[in-house]
Chain A
Amino acid sequence: MSEMSDLKKTGAAVGEPVTDSPAPSAFLEVRDLKVHFPTDDGLVKSVDGLSFQLEKGQTLGIVGESGSGKSVTSLGIMGLHTAGQYGKRKAQISGEIWLDGQELLSADPDEVRRLRGREMAMIFQDPLSALHPYYTIGKQIVEAYRVHHDVDKKTARKRAIEMLDRVGIPQPDKRVDAYPHEFSGGMRQRAMIAMSLVNNPELLIADEPTTALDVTVQAQILDLIRDLQKEFGSAVIIITHDLGVVAELADNILVMYGGRCVERGSAEKVFYEPQHPYTWGLLGSMPRIDKEQTERLIPVKGSPPSLINIPSGCAFNPRCPYADLPKDNVTRTVRPELAESEAGHWSACHLTPGQRERIWTEEIAPKL
């Protein structure tokens, strides 16, 4: 362990390419994560070589459309692909996940279980289905607390009320005995957040935390997550398909496509100098009300790739309007690797920096 702490001190910039060295410099480091599911139709490569780092107090936004591997990644970090998968064909997981100096994929499953809920916690998309309908909110929070703390029910209940109060639920001492169906959607998500934060986790993964909510409630929940992060100083991963959400919260953004990272960098860089045509597409399909509506939204054409037969070359090539610009049909034969266009800003695209600069400034940016 002393070796690790020595290495920790050397530090590394966020977004630096991952090497084979077993030195976890960041609080959370994912290295070449692959999550494959064997099915009757073939191997589904949901996540196919994903690497990133995250420091405490930082927020990483993982963006991508349905089936890009966002949720699979988060469940992989939590170790939920292997827990209780009765008789199903097991997911094949490889790579490394380092959390606070401990590698999780090779760790004893019960050790990972002890970390779940205490060191790392998760907020799910739909709080109605994610809460047990037969138990009161209080009971469910008490359970989450008592799994990791050896306290009596009364103490745990006090803690639950305290957390409900903290996430802004009115009359928490009464609402603690309410059932999930007696809460509104926003209140349910607050309760879910209270439950996930009850053990002061250092890593919080929010998987589409606002997708199932009313638009007016969305902003409140995002504010709440931001405030709580400041208060607890935890590392946060926000998973979403909504660029507006990450714009509000994230320090860094990772854009996923077909189970891989296509662009990664600080939120500013990704928003104002995006390098990958897929990121352009996402930006173009985002509705804006702060600008005059002169043009229609530009959707990303086509549909997400099959994860069983990922297109050869660049996975995005069948949908990319610029796939023919690079020479020798290279977009359809060679898979582009992540390359650093400037410090801390990575993207995987065959277009030359000059071509990207020109397309972004001349064709894409004016329409946004």
Chain B
Amino acid sequence: MLAYLIRRLGAVIVMVLVVLLTTFVIFYMLPKWAGQDLAVLFAGKNSGAEQLEGIRQKLGLSDPLLVQFAEFVKGIPFGRDFGSGNNVTHCPSPCLGYSFRTEAPVWETIKDALPVTAAMAVGAAVLWLLGGVAVGVVSALKRGSIWDRSAMVVALSGVSMPIFFTGMIAMGIFVHSLGWLHIDDSLSSNDSIGTWVETLILPWIVLAFLQAAMYARLTRATMLEVLGEDYIRTARAKGVTEPVVIRRHALRSTMTPILTVFGLDLGILMGGAILTETTFNLPGLGREAVQAIDGKDLPMILGVTLCMSLAIAFANLIVDLMYAVIDPRVRLG
């Protein structure tokens, strides 16, 4: 078990490094191919040649790409010094560099954005998991009924409606028209829980609606399949009451594929729900990512990418561990 965990953690580190290297290479090479100078991106078009040379020196932009990458990776655990001689800026660990756009340390920005994204993702995930599974189970048990059909139509519309559409409508109604909610475009750890909930409640519901739809359909299909299993018939043959057959025997098997998807979805969301955050103007990772790409803000892009890949890798790891807990046939090793 411990050996398995260590091996998996090693794999996570390798995967994250590969993702980072790929991102690094792409975003350093693309401007060059396009004939743009990274130093110009950093300093702005009106800078003098001397100033640009200084920036090149300080950021080490003239070094070979792999050396630059090694410096970048080394900065994460150990911190990093930019420049040489008198002109040294120390970037403490975890150092992800400085934003080209705001010149603030990337890590500081991510540290502020991460809680927003996490709160949004986890809140929505709890909502959609409970709602989706409940609707799916009832739909399966009442297959073909009016309830089942209407639930599945709503689910289909949920899947097909993009978040900026449902999000806009929800905001239009609850924020602007009814005035029930007030949405802040800044959230920090100093804000009260009430402010967080008030700001996040609409994103939670809208995001949960979109995802719950898929979970309801998945639960329904899996549940119907499980209900046809021989061991369900055995449970009935033992004289077990139907509610217990559903809860203890059917639901447990149904949860396996759902948890797989759930882990991945949560991981992806943790890396930033770009559309949701943009729609609701939430200061999370997704919004930072959009702004970073918009501004060709390379260090910021790398930082967000690192967060996303870590989130997905760890979500996968947790799913695999959960498997072993749920299904005794799964042996880790």
Contact = CB atoms under 8 A, between A and B. Distances in A.
Partners in one complex: yes
A113 B237 contact: no
Given A87-B142, A87-B148, A181-B329, A130 B239 contact: no
B245 A84 contact: yes
Given A80-B236, A124-B230, 5 more contacts: A117-B237, A117-B240, A124-B234, A147-B238, A181-B329
A117 to B, nearest CB: 3
A132 B231 contact: yes
Nearest to B234: A130
A78 B240 CA distance: 13
B13 interface: no
A66 B235 CA distance: 24
A121 B233 CA distance: 12
* Residue of A84, A113, A147, A195 with most partner-chain B CB within 10 A: A84
Contacts of A126: 230
A248 to B, nearest CB: 24
Nearest to A144: B238
Contact of B233 (A113, A124, A179): A124
A123 B136 CA distance: 32
Nearest to A125: B230
Nearest to B240: A147
Contact of B327 (A83, A87, A122, A134): A134
B230 A134 contact: no
A131 B252 CA distance: 14
A196 B233 CA distance: 13
Given A83-B242, A130-B230, A122 B237 contact: yes
Ranked 9 nearest A-B pairs via Cβ: A87-B143, A117-B239, A129-B230, A116-B239, A117-B238, A87-B144, A144-B238, A132-B231, A130-B230
B230 A133 contact: no
Interface in B210-246: 224, 227, 229-242, 245
Contacts of A288: none
A118 interface: yes
Nearest to A116: B239
Interface residues of A, number: 32
* Residue of B148, B235, B238 with most partner-chain A CB within 10 A: B238
A367 interface: no
Contacts of A78: 237
A84 B242 contact: yes
A111 to B, nearest CB: 11
Interface of A: 78, 80, 83-84, 86-88, 113-118, 121-122, 124, 126, 129-134, 136, 143-144, 147-148, 179, 181, 195-196
B140 A86 contact: yes
Given A87-B145, A133-B329, A134-B253, A115 B230 contact: no
Interface in B241-266: 241-242, 245, 248-249, 252-253
Contact of B231 (A115, A118, A129): A129
13 contacts: A84-B245, A113-B241, A116-B236, A117-B239, A117-B240, A121-B237, A121-B238, A124-B230, A126-B230, A129-B231, A130-B231, A132-B249, A196-B237
Given A87-B143, A133-B328, A113 B239 contact: yes
A121 B143 CA distance: 29
Contact of B234 (A113, A118, A132, A136): A132
A179 B237 contact: no
Contact of B236 (A84, A86, A129): A84
A143 to B, nearest CB: 7
Contacts of B232: 84
B153 interface: no
Interface in B48-106: none
B154 interface: no
Contacts of A130: 230-231, 233-234
Contacts of B126: none
A357 B53 CA distance: 112
Contacts of A88: 143
A148 B239 contact: yes
B239 A131 contact: no
A132 B256 CA distance: 14
Contact of A86 (B227, B231, B237, B241): B227
A133 B233 contact: no
B327 A86 contact: no
Given A126-B230, A130-B230, A133-B328, A83 B238 contact: no
A143 B247 CA distance: 14
* Residue of B229, B231, B237, B329 with most partner-chain A CB within 10 A: B237
B326 interface: yes
Contact of A147 (B143, B233, B239, B253): B239
